[in-house]
Structure 1
Amino acid sequence: MTDAAQYSIVFGNETFTFLIERTARRKTVAISVGFDGVRVLAPSDLDDDRVLGIVRKKGAWLLRKQAAYRELGGQAAVKEFVSGETFHYLGRQYRLKLIPDETAVTTRIAARGSTLVAPVLPNGHESIQRAAVRSGLSHWYRAHAIQHFPARARMIAEILGIPTPTVNVVDQSKRWGSCDSRGRIRLNWRLVMAPMPLVDYVIAHEACHVLEHNHSRRFWRSLETIMPDYEDRLRRLDRMGHQFIW
């Protein structure tokens, strides 16, 4: 069970409002920044003052992340789900094309060259048509994530010398991936839109948590050993990530 309480901290001219979410499963404080704000996970037995002290020490980092999101517009991508829009798959650009189809009870996406074809019922209400296309795209991306992610996790696990972790493809807006205390990895299906080197970065990051359940020096050394350019990949994901959130 997770408890949560809201707090605000001011750094410079910026005010950060966030929830401290408490859970008995955590041993350390974890801070993440996403398009929807700051998230703080803390152990159930750590008092508020100590948690807030840890957050304050991350002030400069929080400001840098906030500035980066502001430069990107600070918002997830806005999609209309109409013909001509650009979508990404493993870093490549695809154009969406809606095709009228009297038999299209559900919209099933198909890739043809650099086009994502979406059959839709003709003369349908625009909002219903867009919802159908969005749903179809979500299913298409999720299916391809399920196809690719476990194989990449197996490859990275072999390099690390650990058993192949269980990989679950999930729908989450605040993070690209996570690893629980039993070594099970959860990956956001939207990650399959990113270039494969960035997919591998997220999987490697989470796989290293099978060895180290925190961001200790040993954790970062493990990650650097198997992926010396992980910092560059992380920066690329930070710059590009907003394109994949809709």
Structure 2
Amino acid sequence: MTFSRSFAFRRGVYLSPGVPPLTRGFAIYQGFRLSSFTSLKHRLSTFTKTVSPTRNIPKYSRKNKSFLMYTTAVLIFGIGFTYASAPLYRIFCQTTGFSGTPMTGTSTINPNRLVPSKNSRRIKVTFNADTSRALNWSFTPQQREVRVLPGETSLAFYTAKNESNKDIIGMATYNVTPSKVAPYFNKIQCFCFEEQMLGAGEQVDMPVFFFIDPEIENDPLMKDVDTVTLSYTFFKAKYDDNGTLIPIPA
């Protein structure tokens, strides 16, 4: 086999004319192998750079960090909102009478509404009391019912007794039925949503001062309402690890 000089130059091999043909052929063959190996190595290197997953590690790492931060922020917000939702919902209900929650506080009461409507019908208000199973208290209303005119204030009492041999703190929630009456049922003073501590065997009377807004007479949806029930339920107060009271939903 005869190799031309130009072929030898293309393969990066140059031999003087005095080199024996066999040696010349072997040298050219070696040059051909070296050139082919170098070309193959370059192609493999290019292919590796193209498909290697390690090239995208920083990019995906940044994406993972961003996703983790976003998820953590959403989780923290969710926990905070959950913790705050109970008192916020309670305040909303107390202000608007939503969900059968009577309106409370003297700041929302117009003195002109505290005038009995003498020509109006009397509405019967009945009283109900319950306790949770975790609270070893007896809790009862002192009166079964009262009859009031719209705009007339009324004072009622409940009695609570700690039946255990240790001090216990309780909290009460309340509502009225039918729930549509709630915006017109105003409690000026009561013991709801406040910590009530009773010593072992202690018994106390708890007052409720309320009135029904005279505007109830102008609402056609209230024409069929003759009886309203005010209900209280006492729960055992619970606290978190920091000693903060855990709100009881309205």
> Same fold per TM (> 0.5)?
no
TM-score bucket (shorter structure): under 0.3
Q: TM-score, normalised by structure 2?
A: 0.22
Larger radius of gyration: 2
Identify the structure with bigger relative contact order (alpha carbons < 8 Å, sequence gap 6+): 2
Q: TM-score, normalised by structure 1?
A: 0.22
